[in-house]
């Protein structure tokens, strides 16, 4: 078995919730075989408080969490990305950047917790229907 660590990039529009959550979870369950990263096509500049609360509820470290642009991973000193997953329909529909080595790409549509509406209690409930980014 290879000792290679695979770099995974979760890409969304705002990089404020879904991609951050995916990054934290894969870094925990990847058991050292995967190093997850996240970025946004148009980052919001802050991580959504519900995303941080959710991760803390899973006993996951949130000190890494920051909203950042995808171009950090196109820089010469960036890790070579092996897999790119778009996690929102809007990001999947946009032209994705090209990374060296052209990593494997896939779309994994996930509801946007940052787009939840209603009272605070209602915003913590899972949404029954998909929303855009």
Q: Which residues are catalytic?
A: 12, 88, 96
Token pair of 16 as six digits: 């404020």
Q: Any idea what DSSP says for residue 31?
A: T
Is the per-residue pLDDT at 122 higher than 70?
no
Contact, 133 vs 112, CB < 8 A?
yes
Predicted local confidence at residue 130, as pLDDT:
39
Fold of 6-123: Rossmann fold (3.40.50)
For the purposes of burial, counting CB atoms within 10 Å of the CB of 53, is it exposed (0-12), middle (13-18) or buried (19 or more)?
A: exposed
Cα–Cα–Cα angle for 76, 15, 87, rounded to 5 degrees: 100
pLDDT, tens only, 60-101: 999 999 999 998 988 888 899 999 988 876 654 566 666 666
Per-domain residue ranges of the chain: 6-123
């Amino acid at each position: 078995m290879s000792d290679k660590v695979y770099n995974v990039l979760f890409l969304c529009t705002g990089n404020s919730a879904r991609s951050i959550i995916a990054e934290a979870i894969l870094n925990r369950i990847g058991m050292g075989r995967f190093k997850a990263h996240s970025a946004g096509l148009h980052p919001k500049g802050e991580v959504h408080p519900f995303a941080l609360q959710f991760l803390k509820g899973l006993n996951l470290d949130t000190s890494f969490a920051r909203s950042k642009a995808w171009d950090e991973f196109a820089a010469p000193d960036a890790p070579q990305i092996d897999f790119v997953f778009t996690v929102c329909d809007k990001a999947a529909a946009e032209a994705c950047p090209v990374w060296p080595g052209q990593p494997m790409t896939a779309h994994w549509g996930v509801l946007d917790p940052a787009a939840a509406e209603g009272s605070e209690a209602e915003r913590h409930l899972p949404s029954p229907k998909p929303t855009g980014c």
